[in-house]
Chain A
Amino acid sequence: MSKRSIEILVGLFVLLGLAGIVFLALKAANLTTLSNGETYPLVARFDNIGGLKARAPVRSAGVVVGRITGISLDPKTFQGVVSLEIKRGFDFPKDTSAKILTAGLLGDQYVGLEPGGDTANLAPGDTIKQTQSAVVLENLIGQFLFNKAAEAGSGSASGADAGGKKP
């Protein structure tokens, strides 16, 4: 095989390999969804962030408007401090509320923003005042069991009372 055809074949191989890397980066990973547009920061404090993770999406009306950049614990109030990064152009009113929601029954958790009616908008760096913590499934089940047990207990107690009143 001549030197030139070998060079062409190797060039094709390298191009094919690079095309593979580009395919992995663009089609099969998040390079296209990485927003390199302008963003502004917001902070939200939650009593319980549940399973929220950094880089989870921030949605409003189901549309992704930003990402979570960091999660930390406030050492004074023992609240979870979630830093959000919202795309510029999406301005939210001052009384916007933030909720931690779950995509589907067992899906990933994300922060949902529900805009209020205030005429003034949140400025970069502001803290969202109204927040609703994540629903922790264990607490929910615990509450349910507790209620059931309480109902059952009161039911049998009243039954015993009724029996006791009979002459």
Chain B
Amino acid sequence: MIQLRKRGLMAAVICSEAFLKLGRAQARVFGVPDLPLILIPHPLGGLSLAEVQARADVAVPQLVELLGERD
């Protein structure tokens, strides 16, 4: 993701809320502090298909917004 971002491509990491601090810190460490993080509720493991779908519903609008920013 970092490499894609550095090359000017749109790239984002999907991150559950519990991992937000680690995600932000890693983006800073790798020199891309503005790397977009698409935030979804924690957890990611042990979910039913409907719960996975609900997380996708949270993630997709954030992705659409990111792509809009690019235009």
Q: Do A and B come from one complex?
A: no
